[in-house]
Amino acid sequence: MSETRWKLAEFLKAKKLSAYALAKASGIKQPNTVYRIARVGYEPGRVDLSTLTAVLDGLRKLTGEEVQLSDILEYVPDS
């Protein structure tokens, strides 16, 4: 079965960023949401589009780079 996986933890590690810094930069009112998305094995199966947008905006602020969905999400087709 195909699946979509989070790559946020890998992205944060590669950029030497913390989930705390992302939570602050994103302006998400519930920082635990960011912590959960960034924790391998505990990622949520659903996220509101507004949360996803805030995460991307926060990452752009922190890195000064263009960040796309494909940087933090991965589609893995059925083999």
Render pLDDT for 7-53 as a digit per residue (tens, 0 to 9).
999 999 999 999 999 999 999 999 999 999 999 988 988 999 999 99
pLDDT of res. 69: 96
CB-based contact 76:3 (threshold 8 Å):
yes
45 φ, ψ (degrees, to nearest 5): -85, -15
- Residue with more model confidence, 63 or 79: 63
Over residues 52-64, mean pLDDT: 97
CB atoms within 10 A of CB 51: 17
Whether this prediction's pTM lies above 0.85 is answered by: yes
